Chain A
């Protein structure tokens, strides 16, 4: 999937020769202290950043030089760590934007006149109540947890084959995360690949079967969550970071 990719910003090696693979119907967790290169890795896979060297393979095709839009068309979608909604638009209109893309028109049949309906379905899927005021409120008036779910709905509107969620759970209440976990598990069951970048390990481990640990841009461990967290180098990396592992 990702083969020895590197990216340097100035003198900082943000991602340094990282390789990892996600199979269809698999959920992979990426963890590591702040600044360990998790988000850069997501940016490399989705095309927001081009790698200095290394390959990014998606279904056997090297997409390292493809544009963001081309990757979305192939079935790669991502959410942003800090929600980036269209603040002035009502929630359901936020979802209309991706529904105008080619991928959505081909895969979800979101042609003219069908978009509102599809948008409402997607919002319901991520936990907006269909008739609730939240659906028609401008995104700027929605609480944080809703914005995160809106971000997820925006991704689902692209019917992704590979979905990268950058700290989806951060800032969400336990009740909110609990309501989303069954949805994520269902996406995996449908044969999609999920990559979750997450600090909230307890929730993460309910979804993923495998984690990759990054530190200073390098992969320091990979394997089953419970097993990985007992390793010495992982503990050291986390104790140096500011996040206390809850697992």
Chain B
């Protein structure tokens, strides 16, 4: 930016962006590709990666599985943040999904796939009920409660030795092959990312946004705010509980570590890094963070330091979020114009 004194930077929508903004998108292949291209490319990448097992090796396939699970958690976090519920305890959803799946498969003897589905849904509903009484809290007060809940669960399990105590629940049968688990998560991720974004863009999303900004007027408009928030929590928790459920069948064990702080911090970090406000941004953030964390293993004990350094660097240099930056560059071009 040398001597911008006599110049200012101007950002303009690309022609194709303007053309494809409206129904004219159907006018030609170029516009269709422009609109659908990035989404389709991302989806294809996710669907193809598990097929490359011979080439990548099992290690990176497992990293992929964990990454997709974290992407789900991040999407879940971003959805709730969008409706004004900033969660600092996403491991609550994650852990609940894992434990309930373990119970379903070990105690109720359900087949693994059914157990995962039941664990996912019941955990999301249960978390909704659990958080129901505190949904009237706003902003940081709600966040603090969500921060405390997973810690509380972990301590209760430790102290009362229920649910296997510190040992956890072991012997969970695997859910099919590695590929089956990967594809279950990938499909879940695609549905969650595009579905939740779609939901937010609909009239229902409008109401959810309105509740965040001005719940008094929403109540005066005859909309039961409490029930809507409850619904948002249950729907928003689903991706995270699914991630917890599938990872439990992958590791064959679920323990107190499912309620660990890591699972609360990562979705939040991913969403901030990727670009807050969008589902895809959160997913992109998680897709970068998990492999990054693996690559940094070479640093040994200093791994966390290197991880934090990368994170701070990214946040300072691209405060709008990586996904938001790329999306802006995709839709707009920049030029310097004289004043």
Residues on A close to B: CB < 8 A?
A: 46, 48, 67-69, 72-73, 77-78, 80, 84-89, 93, 96-98, 100-104, 112, 115, 154, 157-158
- Size of interface on B: residues with Cβ below 8 Å to A: 18
A residues in contact with B213, CB < 8 Å: 86-88
Q: How far is the CA of A100 from the CA of B210 in the complex (A)?
A: 12
A residues in contact with B204, CB < 8 Å: 100
CB distance from B212 to the nearest CB of A (A): 10
Asked if B176 is an interface residue, CB under 8 A from chain A, the answer is no
Q: With contacts A96-B203, A97-B210, A100-B204 known, what are 12 further pairs, Cβ within 8 A?
A: A68-B222, A69-B224, A72-B220, A73-B222, A77-B222, A86-B209, A87-B213, A88-B209, A97-B206, A98-B223, A101-B222, A115-B203
Contact of A85 among B203, B206, B209, B217 (CB under 8 A): B217
Contacts A/B (CB < 8 Å), 29 sampled: A46-B220, A48-B219, A48-B220, A68-B219, A69-B219, A69-B223, A69-B225, A72-B220, A73-B222, A77-B222, A84-B216, A84-B220, A85-B217, A86-B213, A86-B214, A86-B217, A87-B213, A87-B214, A88-B209, A89-B206, A93-B206, A96-B203, A97-B218, A97-B221, A100-B207, A112-B203, A154-B217, A157-B221, A158-B221
Q: How far is the CA of A154 from the CA of B219 in the complex (A)?
A: 12
Given A93-B206, A96-B203, A97-B206, CB of A68 within 8 Å of CB of B214: no
A residues in contact with B217, CB < 8 Å: 80, 84-86, 97, 154
Q: How far is the CA of A93 from the CA of B131 in the complex (A)?
A: 30
- Asked if residues B203 and A84 are in contact (CB atoms below 8 Å), the reply is no
- Asked if residues B222 and A158 are in contact (CB atoms below 8 Å), the reply is yes
Given A84-B214, A86-B214, CB of A68 within 8 Å of CB of B207: no
**In the complex, chain B residues 215-257 whose Cβ is within 8 Å of any chain A Cβ:** 216-225
Q: How far is the CA of A98 from the CA of B203 in the complex (A)?
A: 11
Nearest residue, chain B, Cβ from A160? B222
CB distance from A126 to the nearest CB of B (A): 15
Most chain A C-beta atoms within 10 Å of own C-beta, residue among B207, B216, B217: B217
- Asked if residues B210 and A89 are in contact (CB atoms below 8 Å), the reply is yes
CB distance from A105 to the nearest CB of B (A): 10
Nearest residue, chain A, Cβ from B228? A100
Most chain A C-beta atoms within 10 Å of own C-beta, residue among B207, B219, B221, B224: B221
A residues in contact with B219, CB < 8 Å: 48, 68-69
Nearest residue, chain A, Cβ from B213? A86
Q: How far is the CA of A80 from the CA of B217 in the complex (A)?
A: 8
CB distance from B17 to the nearest CB of A (A): 19
Most chain A C-beta atoms within 10 Å of own C-beta, residue among B203, B214, B222, B224: B222
Q: How far is the CA of A103 from the CA of B219 in the complex (A)?
A: 13
Nearest residue, chain A, Cβ from B220? A78
A residues in contact with B210, CB < 8 Å: 86, 89, 97
- Asked if residues A69 and B214 are in contact (CB atoms below 8 Å), the reply is no
B residues in contact with A96, CB < 8 Å: 203, 206
- Asked if residues A77 and B220 are in contact (CB atoms below 8 Å), the reply is yes
Contact of A68 among B206, B209, B220 (CB under 8 A): B220
Q: How far is the CA of A204 from the CA of B220 in the complex (A)?
A: 23
CB distance from B330 to the nearest CB of A (A): 24
Q: How far is the CA of A93 from the CA of B205 in the complex (A)?
A: 12
CB distance from A44 to the nearest CB of B (A): 14
